[in-house]
């Protein structure tokens, strides 16, 4: 039983990371109406920037902040340089452009840092024993960080003027414009937010695993799965779907086999989409 | 676009010189062209440059000795980027543009498996340094034109079993990265271990790029193994060992050296890595051929030859190929040269250590080239059996303990 619970905790941690990345993906989708395939590479940028900040100061908090800032910056720059000019074109152009941006990011990181792995040199600690359960202090920190980040994102979306404008643009861009909402400012804020959330997912993933130029790109499939499962364009759905996929994968794989881990995620996805074609939380309009 | 006068001149000069260059290349009809296809960038980058430089150096040595079978060797170099896609493009270029008759020095099984269909179609030789068992048999080795200078993963597995016996382990479990190489290691171990009458308590095959390997670890650790034998790479090994340490278990690990290397120790620190057993195939250290290779490597790279086992393999590739060309006689085609490869390297002739020595000895009878990388006796699959070194991580240093011969 304790083994089962430990697996669930481990799945929860993986799920939160995937859910955060799915949130970044779904935020852009809700407003800009395309799947940003560079989301994974925004994650990687965040992780490398955090490594830089962490290396310079020795503080993970500062490192994380540098990572978030870099993610926001990369998000805004790619909007200003690429996605702004593609507004009004079919969404497939933006999707293709985002794949291209991902290539550029990976190539630049590969040239600058090489393709070898890097790690956050954090002290490794033995687990706490709570009854028969092993709990990793690091897991707890990762979990709390992810939850705080979620809270901040929802506060931004629902309790700030810019968040209200974002939701207005998501609902009906024309109506928002008629109501006097400047789309450029909203889009910049959106890309900054999405970039920062992706970067946070990248930093957490980097702490759990290793940092390499391909790390984010390789996570893209589970991230897409979570975003679709949650109902694309739905922030809460993305997170919950990420956690659901993570936990179900972890607790089921000892029984069905580890090679089918990713396949299992897609079986769940298929099953849910058969019953609810819009995803768990999706509505026809997407985000509100 | 505006062209400066200087650019225009340079372009003109180039267009005049190019045909002249290709004319000189065409004039050397007596050249045997080989492609040096090595991992200059990517995961194989620590080895690739040395590998390529040794192909060039060995070819120069052969040419200085008067060539092989009346021909000189001409090397064209390319980078695989340690990626199958890039390697295929580079191989296509070598075959179609450079018209090479042998490709030497592919590293990583995925790369060799991707290049093999191209060399097979072209009917040319592919000499590789990869471990996957699939490279021994059809379809990859359908025409018998593949020669492997590295130990197969299967042999690594056998070496692991020897080490486990020697260290007195009783309850081994395995964890393998889900690809031909990873599973090859652990399956090789399982077969060898069971042949010794032992039992493997758990086998887990895991997928790459997971955010966590805790479920996999938990399954393995539940079987209470005293040692976990890995078929893994650096990144996944880093994550697995970190999570293993955090479980508080004290299992031992036997890991191939391409994963248990100084980078792993650097990433995890001395406490986590203390006592890890790292197994590597090693060069034919102490042989005369190794001395010749070592001197060339020092000259080209400024480092000892011991630092790059793969460069010793590429050195041997050129020497063996040239000896086979010499044995096959003037203007022999690829099939005739391939037919002589086992003969010049296999047992039953005068032992030789350099090309010049072998060329002289071939005039009087059979030879047996004792290579720098191993004694180079190719079996029916074109595979060789090098020796293995066993090292243990102690206080953050990887210390070699003993050598295993299969």
Determine the distance in angstroms separating the CA of A282 from the nearest CA of chain B, rounded to an integer. Answer: 26
Across the A:B interface, residue pairs with CB atoms under 8 Å apart total 99
Integer angstrom CA distances of residue B223 from A129, B96, B121, B174, B226: 21, 54, 47, 11, 9
Determine the distance in angstroms separating the CA of A275 from the nearest CA of chain B, rounded to an integer. Answer: 28
Answer whether B237's CB lies under 8 Å from B255's CB.
Answer: yes
| Strand, coil or helix: B176 | strand
CA B155 from centre of chain: 14
| For residues A156-173, average pLDDT | 89
Average pLDDT, rounded, for chain B: 91
Determine the distance in angstroms separating the CA of B212 from the nearest CA of chain A, rounded to an integer. Answer: 7
Query: Is B209's Cβ below 8 Å from some Cβ in A?
Result: yes
Query: Is A205's Cβ below 8 Å from some Cβ in B?
Result: yes
% of chain A exceeding 90 in pLDDT: 55
pLDDT digits over B364-405, tens only?
999 999 999 999 999 999 999 999 999 999 999 999 999 999
**Taking every pair of C-alpha atoms in chain A, what is the biggest distance, in angstroms?**
60
What's the pLDDT at B28?
45
CATH among 2.60.120, 3.40.50, 1.10.8, 1.10.3470 for A2-120+132-275: 1.10.3470
Answer whether B54's CB lies under 8 Å from B293's CB.
Answer: yes
Residue B4: pLDDT over 80? no
Residue A22: pLDDT over 60? yes
Per residue, the 3-state secondary structure of chain A, as one string, reads CHHHHHHHHHHHHHHHHHHHHHHHHHHHHHHHCCCCCCHHHHHHHHHHHHHHHHHHHCCHHHHHHHHHHHHHHHHHHHHHHHHCCCCCCCHHHHHHHHHHHHHHHHHHHHHHHCCCCECCCCCCCCCEEECCEEECHHHHHHHHHHHHHHHHHHHHHHHCHHHHHHHHHHHCHHHHHHCCCCHHHHHHHHHHHHHHHHHHHHHHHHHHCCECCCHHHHCHHHHHHHHHHCCCCCHHHHHHHHHHHHHHHHHHHHHHCHHHHHHHHHHHHHHHHHHCCCCCCCCCCCCC
Residue B25: pLDDT over 50? no
* Paired sense of beta strands B227-231 and B172-177, if any: parallel
Residue A182: pLDDT over 70? yes
User: Confidence class of residue B15 from pLDDT cuts 50, 70 and 90?
Assistant: low
User: Confidence class of residue B1 from pLDDT cuts 50, 70 and 90?
Assistant: very low
Determine the distance in angstroms separating the CA of B23 from the nearest CA of chain A, rounded to an integer. Answer: 37
Answer whether A115's CB lies under 8 Å from A236's CB.
Answer: no
What's the pLDDT at B22?
46
% of chain B exceeding 90 in pLDDT: 81
User: CA B49 to CA B55: how far, in whole Å?
Assistant: 10
Residue B63: pLDDT over 50? yes
Between A5-9, B216-220, B348-352, the lowest mean confidence (pLDDT) is in: A5-9
pLDDT digits over A63-107, tens only?
999 999 999 999 999 999 999 999 888 889 999 999 999 999 999
| For residues B248-252, average pLDDT | 90
Long-range (24+ apart) CB contacts under 8 A made by A164-170 are: A166/A31, A166/A190, A167/A287, A167/A288, A169/A31, A170/A30, A170/A31, A170/A233, A170/A286, A170/A287, A170/A288
Residue B132: pLDDT over 80? yes
Query: Is B223's Cβ below 8 Å from some Cβ in A?
Result: no
Answer whether B229's CB lies under 8 Å from B174's CB.
Answer: yes
Residue B18: pLDDT over 80? no
Q: Tokens 């931004």 sit at which residue?
A: A156
Q: Could you tell me the domains of chain B?
A: 30-151+285-369 (3.40.50.2300), 154-283+395-404 (3.40.50.2300)
pLDDT digits over B178-209, tens only?
888 899 999 999 999 999 999 999 999 998 88
Determine the distance in angstroms separating the CA of A125 from the nearest CA of chain B, rounded to an integer. Answer: 6
User: CA B341 to CA B252: how far, in whole Å?
Assistant: 41
Average pLDDT, rounded, for chain A: 89
User: CA A279 to CA B373: how far, in whole Å?
Assistant: 58
What's the pLDDT at A215?
92
Closest residue in B to A216 (Cα) is B209
Answer whether B107's CB lies under 8 Å from B38's CB.
Answer: yes
Residue B339: pLDDT over 90? yes
Query: Is B222's Cβ below 8 Å from some Cβ in A?
Result: yes
Query: Is B177's Cβ below 8 Å from some Cβ in A?
Result: no
Residue B19: pLDDT over 60? no
Answer whether A36's CB lies under 8 Å from A25's CB.
Answer: yes
Tell me which residue of A99, A119, A107 sits closest to A39, measured CA to CA: A99
What's the pLDDT at B20?
46
Query: Is B356's Cβ below 8 Å from some Cβ in A?
Result: no
Across the interface, whether the CB atoms of B247 and A127 are under 8 A apart is answered yes
**Taking CB atoms and an 8 Å cutoff, what residues of chain A touch B205?**
258-259
Closest residue in B to A222 (Cα) is B210
Which letter, b or e, does each residue of B69-105 get, where b requires 16 or more Cβ atoms within 10 Å of its Cβ? Answer: bebbbbbbbbbbbbbbebbbebbeebbeebebbbbbb
Please report, for chain A, the start and end positions of each structural domain, with discontinuous segments joined by +: 2-120+132-275
Across the interface, whether the CB atoms of A117 and B267 are under 8 A apart is answered yes
List, as ranges, residues 261-320 from B with C-beta within 8 Å of A. Answer: 263, 267-269, 271-272
| For residues A226-241, average pLDDT | 89
User: CA A258 to CA B178: how far, in whole Å?
Assistant: 10
Query: Is B221's Cβ below 8 Å from some Cβ in A?
Result: no
pLDDT digits over B156-180, tens only?
999 999 999 999 999 999 999 988 8
């Amino acid at each position: 039983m304790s083994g089962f619970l430990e697996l669930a905790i481990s799945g929860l941690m993986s799920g939160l990371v995937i859910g955060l990345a799915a949130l970044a993906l779904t935020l852009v989708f809700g407003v800009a109406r395309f799947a940003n395939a560079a989301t994974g590479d925004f994650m990687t940028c965040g992780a490398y920037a955090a490594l830089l900040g962490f290396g310079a100061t020795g503080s993970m908090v500062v490192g994380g902040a540098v990572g978030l800032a870099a993610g926001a910056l990369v998000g805004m720059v790619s909007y200003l340089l690429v996605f702004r000019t593609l507004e009004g074109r079919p969404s497939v152009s933006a999707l293709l452009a985002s794949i291209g941006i991902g290539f550029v990011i990976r190539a630049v990181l590969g040239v600058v840092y090489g393709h070898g792995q890097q790690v956050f040199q954090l002290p490794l600690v033995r687990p706490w024993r709570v009854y028969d359960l092993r709990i990793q202090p690091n897991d707890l920190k990762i979990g709390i960080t992810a939850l705080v980040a979620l809270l901040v994102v929802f506060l931004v979306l629902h309790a700030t003027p810019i968040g209200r404008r974002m939701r207005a643009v998501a609902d009906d861009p024309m109506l928002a414009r008629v109501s006097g909402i400047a789309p450029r400012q909203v889009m910049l804020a959106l890309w900054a937010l999405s970039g920062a959330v992706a970067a946070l997912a990248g930093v957490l993933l980097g702490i759990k695993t290793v940092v390499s130029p391909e790390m984010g790109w390789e996570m893209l499939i589970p991230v897409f799965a979570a975003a679709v499962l949650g109902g694309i364009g739905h922030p809460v759905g993305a997170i919950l779907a990420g956690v659901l996929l993570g936990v179900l994968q972890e607790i089921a794989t000892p029984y069905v086999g580890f090679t089918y881990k990713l396949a299992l995620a897609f079986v769940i996805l298929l099953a849910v989409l058969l019953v609810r074609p819009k995803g768990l939380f999706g509505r026809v309009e997407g985000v509100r | 676009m505006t062209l400066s006068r200087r650019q225009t001149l340079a372009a003109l000069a180039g267009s005049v010189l190019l045909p002249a260059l290709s004319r000189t290349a065409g004039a050397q009809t007596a050249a045997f062209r080989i492609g040096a296809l090595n991992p200059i960038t990517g995961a194989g980058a620590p080895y690739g440059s040395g590998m390529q430089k040794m192909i060039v150096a060995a070819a120069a040595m052969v040419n200085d000795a008067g060539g092989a079978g009346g021909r000189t060797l001409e090397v064209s170099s390319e980078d695989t980027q340690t990626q199958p896609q890039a390697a295929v493009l580079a191989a296509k270029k070598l075959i179609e543009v450079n018209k090479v008759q042998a490709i030497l020095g592919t590293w990583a099984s995925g790369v060799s498996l991707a290049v093999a269909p191209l060399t097979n179609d072209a009917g040319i030789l592919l000499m590789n340094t990869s471990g996957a068992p699939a490279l021994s048999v059809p379809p990859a080795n359908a025409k018998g034109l593949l020669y492997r200078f590295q130990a197969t993963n299967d042999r690594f597995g056998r070496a692991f079993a020897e080490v486990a016996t020697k260290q007195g382990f009783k309850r081994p479990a395995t964890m393998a990265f889900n690809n031909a190489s990873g599973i090859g290691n652990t399956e090789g171990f399982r077969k060898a271990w069971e042949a010794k009458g032992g039992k493997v308590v758990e086998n887990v095959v895991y997928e790459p790029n997971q955010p966590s390997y805790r479920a996999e670890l938990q399954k393995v650790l539940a079987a209470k193994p005293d040692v976990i034998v890995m078929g893994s790479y650096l990144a996944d090994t880093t994550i697995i060992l970190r999570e293993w340490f955090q479980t508080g278990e004290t299992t031992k690990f036997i890991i191939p050296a391409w994963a248990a290397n100084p980078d792993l120790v650097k990433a995890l620190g001395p406490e986590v890595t203390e006592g890890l057993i790292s197994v590597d195939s090693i060069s034919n250290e102490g042989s005369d051929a190794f001395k010749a290779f070592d001197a060339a490597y020092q000259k080209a790279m400024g480092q000892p030859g011991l630092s790059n086992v793969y460069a010793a393999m590429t050195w041997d590739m050129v020497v063996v190929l040239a000896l086979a060309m010499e044995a096959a006689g003037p203007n022999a085609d690829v099939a005739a040269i391939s037919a002589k490869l086992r003969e010049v390297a296999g047992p039953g002739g005068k032992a030789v250590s350099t090309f010049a020595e072998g060329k002289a000895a071939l005039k009087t009878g059979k030879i047996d080239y004792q290579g720098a990388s191993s004694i180079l006796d190719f079996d029916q699959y074109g595979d060789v059996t090098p020796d293995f070194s066993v090292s243990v991580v102690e206080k953050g240093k990887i210390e070699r303990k003993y050598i295993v011969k299969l």
